[in-house]
Amino acid sequence: MARPRRRDLLAYLVGSGVAGTLLIGPYGLRFGVMQLLPGAAAVEPPFFLLPILWGLWNLVWARRQPAMSIGVWGALLGVAAGVAVNLLFVAQGRWFRAAMLLPLFLAPVYYLIWTLVLGPLNEALGVEHPPDPASLDSRVSRR
Amino acid sequence: MRTLGLIRTATPPPARDLWPRLRARLRDGDRVHLRLPALGWREATAMAVALGTLAVVPNPVRFLIACGLL
């Protein structure tokens, strides 16, 4: 039986939990918007995949600990998601010109959410690795 | 003897009753300390870019739906 590490599992659950909470937008608010603006929901991105995507992205973050802030890591996901949605719209024949701005819009939005929500949750729940004493020493000696 | 006396007076007396401290630590163990990062120019820029993009696009609602945020 597979035994995932506690930290990895927690990282996945934090990412997917936050994204799942954000789905209140497409699941709840969209209903109201469609009543007001019937033609607005002509495009249907697979937003229901967001929890899986965010969970996996946070899992990779916890495992690799890349040399960048978690906000930038989230922004990269935003750019990738924006490009992917563009490709999906092109494949479906539903692409519209403003969709080009999706990566530009999603990057800062994801940056803010990952910085202000995912980062503190990761830190509070022990997903982040503890700081490396060697790197702390080098930082202190540099000062 | 004088030195020992100085050391004894310099240190706080040991806590006799450890149970209240143990109970307090157990209570705290159930709490999660969320530390929000300070908002700086990066966050302000990100906010400005996001709002600016929404202001530029011709149909913000359709755009937000395409983002999966709405």
Please check whether residue A48 lies inside any domain of the structure.
Answer: yes
Alpha carbon of A124: minimum distance to chain B alpha carbons (Å)? 6
Structure ipTM over 0.90, yes or no? no
Query: Residue A109: which H helix or E strand, with range?
Result: helix A102-113
CA distance B10 to B51: 60
Q: How far is CA A52 from CA A3, A57, A71, in A?
A: 19, 8, 18
Nearest CA in chain A to B33: A124
pLDDT at A134: 53
Please check whether residue A113 lies inside any domain of the structure.
Answer: yes
Model confidence at A143, in pLDDT bands (50, 70, 90)? very low
Please check whether residue A22 lies inside any domain of the structure.
Answer: yes
What φ, ψ does residue A43 adopt, rounded to 5°?
Answer: -105, 145
Please check whether residue A134 lies inside any domain of the structure.
Answer: no
The whole-angstrom distance between residue B30's C-alpha and the CA centroid of its chain comes to 15
Q: Which domain covers residue A45, as residue numbers?
A: 6-129
Whole-prediction pTM value? Answer: 0.77
Q: What is the pLDDT of residues A115-130, one digit of tens each?
A: 999 999 999 888 886 5
CA distance A73 to B24: 38
Alpha carbon of B8: minimum distance to chain A alpha carbons (Å)? 35
Helix, strand counts (H, E) of chain A: 8, 0
Please check whether residue A137 lies inside any domain of the structure.
Answer: no
For chain A, the domain total comes to: 1
Please check whether residue A136 lies inside any domain of the structure.
Answer: no
| Residue A100 at interface with chain B, using a CB cutoff of 8 Å | no
3-state secondary structure chain B: CHHHHHHHHHCCCCCCCCHHHHHHHHHHCCCCCCCCCCCCHHHHHHHHHHHHHHHHCCCHHHHHHHHCCC
Please check whether residue A138 lies inside any domain of the structure.
Answer: no
CB contact under 8 A, B35 and A42: no
Q: What is the pLDDT of residues B27-60, one digit of tens each?
A: 777 777 788 899 999 999 999 999 999 999 888 8
CA distance A122 to A62: 9
Please check whether residue A90 lies inside any domain of the structure.
Answer: yes
pLDDT at A7 over 80: yes
